[in-house]
Amino acid sequence: MSLEEIDFAENSLSGSLPIHICNHPLEQIKGLNLSVNQLQGSIPSELYKCRDLEHLSLSNDQFNGRIPRTLGYLDKLKDLSIGGNNFTGGIQRKLEISPIWRY
C-alpha cells in the first residue's frame, strides 16, 4: 500500500514548501492539498517530479514569485488550484498549452 493523497488544508502550516517534497516516497502521490495555510515563498519547480500528481491545490496561501512552468510537465494533472496567492508575471508558455487550463 502506498500513500496516494496528502491533505493538510486549513492547518495553519507556515514556512516554505520544501524543494524535495516529491522525492521518494512521495513522488507517486496523486493529490496534494495545502490550501488555506500560511505557506510562503515560491512554488518549487521540482514539483514536476511528482509525475502521478492529478490534483494540486495550493490556493489561499502566501506564495509569491512566478508560477513555475515545470507544472506544465505534469501530464496527469487534472486540477490545479493556485488562486489567492501573490504571484508575479504572466503564465509561462508551457502552462498556456497545458490541458489543465481546459478544466
Q: Radius of gyration over alpha carbons of the chain, in Å?
A: 13
- Name which of 98, 1, 53, 36 is nearest 44 in CA terms: 53
Q: Is the pLDDT of residue 21 over 70?
A: yes
6/33 Cα distance (integer angstroms): 6
- Name which of 94, 66, 93 is nearest 82 in CA terms: 66
pLDDT digits (tens, 9 = 90+) for 71-102: 888 999 999 999 999 999 876 665 555 555 54
- Looking up residue 84, the CATH number of its domain turns out to be 3.80.10.10
- The reported pLDDT for the residue numbered 103 is 36
- Residue-range definition of the domain harbouring residue 36: 5-102
Number of separate domains in the chain:
1
pLDDT digits (tens, 9 = 90+) for 39-69: 999 999 999 999 999 999 999 999 999 999 8
